[in-house]
């Protein structure tokens, strides 16, 4: 029975680790400035925690076999209540490991979340509602027009869905789209809002996730470094259509972005 | 001389007082146990439907027909709620804790027998109310077991958010009241009812675990109860604790000024300690079993006690790690993250001590021991994913993915359930006077152990690749759609694992009637429950008041006549 435990535990450990080491299923290729640092810390954590995982499982399997009851002829079990010295050693070691690992990643967190977007960042307001994302650009005046909850009508789409107040001069040039278009290598300031329940704006390739909370305007930022189309999914349970609250971030060159925005402005005239 | 203190009560007469409205902690313990048994099969059944739906979305299923997206969400809400409250909180603490805490302490009963009876029947009522949510108009709520507002606060936010959601909240509130009564009883019993010589540092680690779990329950369930009442008021009385000015489908809801994050803070202030409420009793029990079946004293008894206390204490300071992506201040995320990594330290200490207990032992592989070793393995794999999620930088990606599902199912679900299985196999002889069938028990172990890994290991990969939880279908999102083969594998693994649980149920009921008669101390263990008759008499010790001379883990003491020294035996002179 001890041998069976050893074999099964070791085999599970081997198979479990294989798929991680082989990266059979892994994060998508990073497409934002933050991705490299985050992925590096992922790898560090995997190596350290993986070593602990494998060591603990190997020891568990090995001890189960080695210290099995070998019948009446064998000697008694060791009579020991433990060792204070060993307790101190592994307490301090794990403390250094866990706290150290954590501190190593805090500078990335600080860059992502303590710092605000720099002046000149491209502003995009992202609004979640059951079950769609809307994206709004402030237009040439650089100001978002006022919105009013009582004006909201999702069936109108666009400005109507957001409840944009047509009497506000700042609202006149606001561009509202169903696809998020952003320029590459520029910092994007995202202003997250929700109309109804909590949603979460998740773009795996950008290593970006943040809840959109009704009543709050949450300011975040990221810098795409690859052009292409990247999928968005809602990552907070928001109701029966949660699984299909899907969208696209289209990252284009700076020129294409300016042309695209100008064309949208022209459509409004 | 027989001492009758104020807690002792006469043995009851008649079926109803003896088995239904019983004051005997042993009967109440069994009532909790059987409630949890019914609940766990309900919870498993729901998960089975979910697993089938994920792989065959158009299949027609019993009771529910073809599952709609909102039905899928109802299933996961009820699965989580039933499992967390009525299984993981009910069986280890209410069930085994009730039955064995007084006996292991050398007490004739719990401190407050009437309160004990009330706490069970309150919990039972809570379960009925929860199940009723399936049968009302609109069905069960779809807001998940975490019930985030405003989704949970607005009847217009989705199907099931009407009467079903009210029943869900009322059920949890009732459960909280029962849990609070239970917690008071456990704490008082541990502090006041210990036998002569049973100092705190001679208590078995099971008693320490139940004691600290009860303290956690007392502090956590009160907060959840209050939060539930506030949510009920938001829904029915027009208050706005958790709801700001929102519209649903463009219609104003009439609320304004509330904070959705307040619900999350209150919920997780309960929700994180709840993890330890589920796992601590299993930790205590498996410590016990590793010592008993290795025929060795537990490695580092004091360190184990301090680790339990540290986990209990730190458990109240880490709730914010569920909220890194919630819009909470990023500075607090830093603090919560450090505390969370800190709680890994006592957990690691316990793992080292379990391995240290096996080291140099003389291991007997009885079924309780197999489950205890399985527990350690699962605790390690479930624990090791914690430091990923505890770091906000990695949580940016992993939050709300299946990586989280894998983590908490392994550590809080499967590891705790291995504790429950271990407890059942270990204490069944004492509770029912017969042994469980050992070959069946071992078959059950191997299938469940391998099956649990087969289900939950792949969920890590699914999450690493970005697969999101609470998605009734993965077809709408490109990167999730590609992961469908993993879901198929998990569903097949679940079929086999679930099927093998019937071996356990069969063994349980068959052994009650046909099992081999058990001796008073079949495992040659040292704690007080093994000094008394099998099953124990009404006052636990048949009129004798036990006197304790030894610690709980005196195995293979040099010079002792047997390889174990009971807690009531003459004192072990040599201690090092």
Tell me the per-residue pLDDT of A204-219, one tens digit each, with 9 for 90 and over: 999 999 999 999 999 9
Summary mean pLDDT of chain A: 95
Q: Which residue of chain B has the CA closest to A16?
A: B457
Name the closest residue on chain B to residue A34, using Cα atoms. Answer: B393
pLDDT score at B8: 57
Q: Where are the domains of chain A?
A: 2-68+86-114, 122-268
Whether residue A80 contacts residue A17, with contact meaning beta carbons closer than 8 Å, is answered with no
Query: What would the mean pLDDT of B536-544 be, rounded to a whole number?
Result: 94
Three-class DSSP labels, chain A: CHHHHHHHHHHHHHHHHHHHHCCCCCCCCCCECCHHHHHHHHHHHHHHHHHHHHHHHHHHHHHHHHCECCCCCCCCCCCCCCCHHHHHHHHHHHHHHHHHHHHHHHHHHHHHHHCCCCCCCEEEEEEEECCEEEEEECCCCCCCCCECHHHCCHHHCHHHHHCECCCCHHHCCCEEECCEEEECCCCEEEEEEECCCCEEEEEHHHCEEEEECCCCCEEEEECECCCEEEEEEECCCCCCCHHHCEEEEEEECHHHHHHHHHHHHHHHC
Q: Nearest chain A Cα to B443, which residue?
A: A1
Percentage of residues of chain B with pLDDT beyond 70: 98
Cα-based angle A52, B321, B72 (whole degrees, multiple of 5): 95
Q: Which of B407, B466, B488 to mutate to test the interface with A (most CBs of A within 10 A)?
A: B466
Q: Are B554 and B526 in contact (CB under 8 A)?
A: yes
pLDDT attached to residue B4:
43
Are the C-beta atoms of A200 and B396 separated by less than 8 Å? no
User: Is pLDDT at B457 greater than 80 in this prediction?
Assistant: yes
Q: Which residues of B touch A231 (CB under 8 A)?
A: 477-479
Mutation pick from A46, A240, A244, A246 vs chain B, by most beta carbons of B within 10 Å, is A240
pLDDT score, position B65: 85
* Cβ–Cβ below 8 Å for A80 and B360: yes
The CATH number corresponding to A122-268 among 2.40.128.260, 3.90.105.10, 2.60.40.420, 2.20.25.570 equals 2.60.40.420
**Chain A closest-CA separation from residue B1 CA (Å):** 36
With an 8 Å Cβ cutoff, are A213 and B260 in contact? yes
Please report which confidence band the pLDDT of residue B1 belongs to, taking 50, 70 and 90 as the band edges. very low
pLDDT classification of B3: cutoffs 50, 70, 90: very low
Query: Of A154-158, A238-242, A258-262, B47-51, which gets the smallest average pLDDT?
Result: A154-158
Question: Are B142 and A240 inside 8 Å of each other by CB?
Answer: yes
Q: Identify whether the C-beta of residue B111 lies closer than 8 Å to the C-beta of residue B7.
A: yes
Model pLDDT for residues B166-209, shown as the tens digit of each residue: 999 999 999 999 999 999 999 999 999 999 999 999 999 999 99
Contact A200 B360 (CB under 8 A): no
Q: What is the pLDDT of residue B572?
A: 83
Q: What is the pLDDT of residues A67-91, one digit of tens each?
A: 999 988 888 899 999 999 999 999 9
> With an 8 Å Cβ cutoff, are B362 and A70 in contact?
yes
Which residues of A fall within a CB distance of 8 Å from B471?
Answer: 242-243
Structure tokens at B278: 């589920």
Cβ–Cβ gap A240/B68 under 8 Å: yes
The superfamily (CATH) of domain B29-530 is Cytochrome c oxidase-like, subunit I domain (1.20.210.10)
CA B346/CA B336 separation, integer angstroms? 17
What are the residues whose beta carbons fall under 8 Å from the beta carbon of B351, sequence distance 6 or more? A56, B376, B379, B380, B383
Residue of B nearest to A12 (CA): B453
- Nearest Cβ partner of A105 from B358, B373, B391? B391
ipTM of the complex: 0.96
Average pLDDT of the segment spanning A33-42? 96
Summarised one tens digit per residue, pLDDT across range B92-151 is 999 999 999 999 999 999 999 999 999 999 999 999 999 999 999 999 999 999 999 999
Whether B53 shows a pLDDT value over 50: the answer reads yes
Mean pLDDT of B50-65: 89
Q: H-helix or E-strand containing B247?
A: strand B247-248
| pLDDT (0 to 100) of residue B494 | 98
Count chain A–chain B contacts defined by CB atoms under 8 A. 342
Mean pLDDT of chain B: 95
Contact B244 A214 (CB under 8 A): yes
């Amino acid at each position: 029975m001890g041998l069976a435990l050893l074999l099964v535990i070791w085999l599970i450990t081997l198979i479990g680790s294989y798929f991680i080491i082989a990266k059979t299923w892994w994060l998508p290729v990073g497409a934002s400035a933050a991705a490299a640092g985050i992925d590096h810390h992922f790898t560090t954590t995997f190596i350290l925690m993986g070593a602990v995982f494998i060591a603990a499982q190997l020891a568990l399997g090995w001890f189960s076999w080695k210290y099995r009851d070998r019948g009446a002829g064998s000697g008694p079990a060791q009579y020991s209540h433990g060792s204070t010295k060993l307790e101190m050693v592994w307490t301090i070691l794990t403390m250094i490991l866990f706290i150290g690992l954590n501190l190593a990643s805090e500078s990335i967190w600080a860059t992502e979340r303590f710092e605000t977007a720099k002046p000149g960042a491209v502003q995009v307001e992202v609004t979640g509602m059951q079950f769609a994302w809307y994206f709004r650009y402030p237009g040439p005046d650089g100001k978002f027009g006022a919105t009013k909850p009582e004006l909201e009508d999702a069936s109108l789409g666009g400005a109507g869905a957001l409840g944009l107040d047509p009497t506000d001069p700042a609202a006149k040039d606001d561009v509202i789209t169903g696809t998020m278009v952003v320029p590459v290598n520029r910092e994007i300031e995202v202003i997250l809002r929700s109309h109804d329940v909590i949603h979460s704006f998740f773009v795996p390739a950008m290593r970006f996730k943040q809840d959109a909370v009704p009543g709050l305007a949450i300011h975040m930022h990221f810098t795409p470094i690859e052009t292409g189309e990247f999928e968005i999914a809602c990552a907070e349970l928001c109701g029966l259509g949660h699984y299909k609250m899907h969208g696209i971030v289209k990252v284009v060159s700076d020129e294409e972005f300016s042309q695209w925005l100008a064309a949208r402005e022209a459509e409004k005239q | 001389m027989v001492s009758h203190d104020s807690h002792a009560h006469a043995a009851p007469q008649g079926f109803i007082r003896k088995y239904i409205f019983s004051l005997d902690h042993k009967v109440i313990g069994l009532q909790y146990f059987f409630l949890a048994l019914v609940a766990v099969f309900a919870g498993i059944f729901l998960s089975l439907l979910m697993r089938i739906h994920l792989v065959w979305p158009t299949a027609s299923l019993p009771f529910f027909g073809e599952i709609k997206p909102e039905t899928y969400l109802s299933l996961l809400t009820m699965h989580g709620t039933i499992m967390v409250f009525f299984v993981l909180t009910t069986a280890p603490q209410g069930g085994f804790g009730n039955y064995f805490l007084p006996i292991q302490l050398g007490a004739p009963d719990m401190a407050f027998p009437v309160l004990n009876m009330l706490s069970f029947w309150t919990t039972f009522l809570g379960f009925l109310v929860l199940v009723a949510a399936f049968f009302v108009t609109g069905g069960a709520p779809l807001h998940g077991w975490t019930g985030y507002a405003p989704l949970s606060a607005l009847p217009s936010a989705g199907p099931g958010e009407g009467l079903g959601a009210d029943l869900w909240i009322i059920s949890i509130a009732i459960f909280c009241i029962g849990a609070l009564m239970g917690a008071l009883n456990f704490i008082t019993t541990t502090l006041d009812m210990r036998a002569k010589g049973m100092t705190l540092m001679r208590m078995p680690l099971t008693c320490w675990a139940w004691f600290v779990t009860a303290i956690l329950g007392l502090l956590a369930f009160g907060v959840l109860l209050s939060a539930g009442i506030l949510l009920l008021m938001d829904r029915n009385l027009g208050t706005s604790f958790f709801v700001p000015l929102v519209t649903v489908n463009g219609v104003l809801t009439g609320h304004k000024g509330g904070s959705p994050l307040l619900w999350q803070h209150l919920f997780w202030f309960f929700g994180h300690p709840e993890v330890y409420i589920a796992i601590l009793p299993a930790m205590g029990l498996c410590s016990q079993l590793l010592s008993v079946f290795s025929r060795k004293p537990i490695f580092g008894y004091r360190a184990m006690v301090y680790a339990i206390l540290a986990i209990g204490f730190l458990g109240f300071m880490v709730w914010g790690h569920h909220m890194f992506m919630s819009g909470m201040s990023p500075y607090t995320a830093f603090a919560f993250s450090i505390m969370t990594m800190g709680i890994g330290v006592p957990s690691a200490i316990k793992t080292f001590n379990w391995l240290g207990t096996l080291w140099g032992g003389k291991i007997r592989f009885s079924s309780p021991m197999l489950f205890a070793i399985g527990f350690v393995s699962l605790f390690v794999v479930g624990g090791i994913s914690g430091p990923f999620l505890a770091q906000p930088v990695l949580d940016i990606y992993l939050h709300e993915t299946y990586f989280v599902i894998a983590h908490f199912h392994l550590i809080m679900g499967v590891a705790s359930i291995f504790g429950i299985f271990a407890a059942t196999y270990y204490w069944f002889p004492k509770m029912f006077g017969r042994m469980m069938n050992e070959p069946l028990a071992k078959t059950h172990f191997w299938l469940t152990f391998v099956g649990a890994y087969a289900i939950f290991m792949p969920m890590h990969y699914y999450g690493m690749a970005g697969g999101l939880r609470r998605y009734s279908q993965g077809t709408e999102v490109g990167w999730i759609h590609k992961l469908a083969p993993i879901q198929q594998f998990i569903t097949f693994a679940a079929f086999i694992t679930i099927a093998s649980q019937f071996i356990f149920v069969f063994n349980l009921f068959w052994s009650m009637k046909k099992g081999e008669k058990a001796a008073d101390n079949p495992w040659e263990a040292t704690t007080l429950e093994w000094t008394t008759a099998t099953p124990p008499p009404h006052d636990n010790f048949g009129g004798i008041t036990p006197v304790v001379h030894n610690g709980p883990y005196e195995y293979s003491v040099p010079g002792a006549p047997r390889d174990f020294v009971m807690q009531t035996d003459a004192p072990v002179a040599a201690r090092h």
